[in-house]
Amino acid sequence: MTVPRPLAASARAARRRLSSTIAGVGHSGHLSSAALRNRHDVPLAEAGLTAAQKYMFDLNGFLVIRGAFDADLVARANGAIDHHADTLHERTGQLRTSGLYGRESAQLAGDGTTGRFDMGGMLGWRAPHREPFRELLTHPAVAGALNELVGVGYRLDHSPLLIAQERGSEGHTLHGGAVTESGEPAWPLAYECRHGQMRNQLLTVCMQLSAAPEGAGGFCAVPGSHKSNFPVPPSLADLADEALASCVVQPALQPGDCLLFSEATLHGTLPWTAAHQRRTVIYRFAPAGSAYGRGYLPSWPESVLDGASEAQRAVLEPPYHPRMNRTSVDRRGEAVAARAREAWKVEFDERVFGTRYF
């Protein structure tokens, strides 16, 4: 049978591509180092989540990386918070977190009077107090996980927030989830896994700065709820139904642990029962081209950008695709220069739109 010329040419091109790929594969069947250097979609760093960690995150919707942050970083972060203790704000009245959606929850009320305490602005503090909080943006343990769970070019979407609780502090109504209370998909929070790659539209990363032993309260979640297809029963969100509440878990955490969870996972806070203050700093990250928050518009405050490293500035970039000359951070937490968009394309875009990028 005679093969038509266009198909024959296509077949020859395919064979050439196959031959060039095989040339980069060693006897073991893995890509050679030379091939790796020429492939922009294959990370060179070895850091990242283990097979067990990937399994557990996909199963539960959250993951604890034990001892991710060393004692020095934890001490510096706690010292900086102590220095700014006068900027803690207690949530009282209508700001209380145990009665969201107009419902009062006796199970989450704590002592009924003590609220949660919030603190922000850490990235813009004067040196050296800002440094431990900036270091998290590109910390190897975090960068490796974010490249796995959010993708290349991950970006900071929300300003970091310290959540503090004193003994008796209220909890927080369970919220988030893959489906809204009205039954609609929560697209801005979505989690999915395709062909072995996980993606979170909004991922929270927590720096644990004080111990949260079993039964002390603090972060809690419903494992597997990031894959739910039905609305959350209000009696579960309020922990009012004992049978449903039995699905809620509170992972024990130690200073230096890193907790990651998908915002599609139903999560909240249990009242704090320990004598010491709970301290957790939360960051929310998004893929390169998507956004939820708007604190970076029109740009992050100059105090946040001043003195930031190249890698930290890459994480603080606004949302746009890596193809548009976006510097990213690899799994080691190091800046990776963008693969330059072809000059002739940029030049044409400038003629058409009046700017270098459309």
Name the amino acid, one letter, at 90. E
DSSP 90: E
Tell me what the pLDDT averaged over the chain comes to. Answer: 87
Q: Is the pLDDT of residue 36 over 60?
A: no
Please state the rounded mean pLDDT for residues 152-177: 97
Q: What is the dihedral of CA 132, 136, 138, 139, to 10 degrees?
A: 90
Cα-Cα end-to-end distance for the chain: 48
Q: Which residues contact 331 (CB under 8 A, 6 or more apart)?
A: 43, 45, 46, 47, 48, 140, 143, 144, 147
Q: Which residue has the higher pLDDT, 102 or 14?
A: 102
CA distance 51 to 68: 17
Asked if the 51-353 domain carries CATH number 2.60.120.620, the reply is yes
Query: What's the Cα-to-Cα distance from 124 to each of 13, 129, 130, rounded to whole Å?
Result: 54, 9, 6
Q: Is the pLDDT of residue 5 over 90?
A: no
Two structure tokens written together for 138 = 């590109």
The pLDDT of residue 204 is: 98
pLDDT in tens, 255-277: 999 999 999 999 999 999 999 99
Please state the rounded mean pLDDT for residues 52-58: 97
Two structure tokens written together for 335 = 């800046």
The residue assigned the tokens 């927030």 is 161
CA distance 354 to 257: 48
pLDDT in tens, 8-31: 343 344 333 323 322 333 322 232
Q: Quote the pTM value.
A: 0.85
The pLDDT of residue 35 is: 28
Query: What's the Cα-to-Cα distance from 156 to each of 97, 134, 206, 358, rounded to whole Å?
Result: 24, 11, 13, 23
Q: How much of the chain, in percent, has pLDDT values that exceed 70?
A: 87
CA distance 41 to 112: 52
Q: Is the pLDDT of residue 173 over 50?
A: yes
**Residues linked to residue 118 through DSSP beta bridges, in sequence order:** 89, 163
Is 176 in a helix, a strand, or coil?
coil
Please state the rounded mean pLDDT for residues 208-231: 97
Please give the backbone phi and psi of residue 73, each rounded to the nearest 5 degrees, phi first.
-65, -45
How many residues make up the chain in this entry?
358
Query: What's the Cα-to-Cα distance from 58 to each of 16, 54, 67, 262, 343, rounded to whole Å?
Result: 38, 6, 21, 10, 41
Two structure tokens written together for 301 = 């405050």
Q: Is the pLDDT of residue 165 over 60?
A: yes
pLDDT tier for residue 46 given thresholds of 50, 70 and 90: low
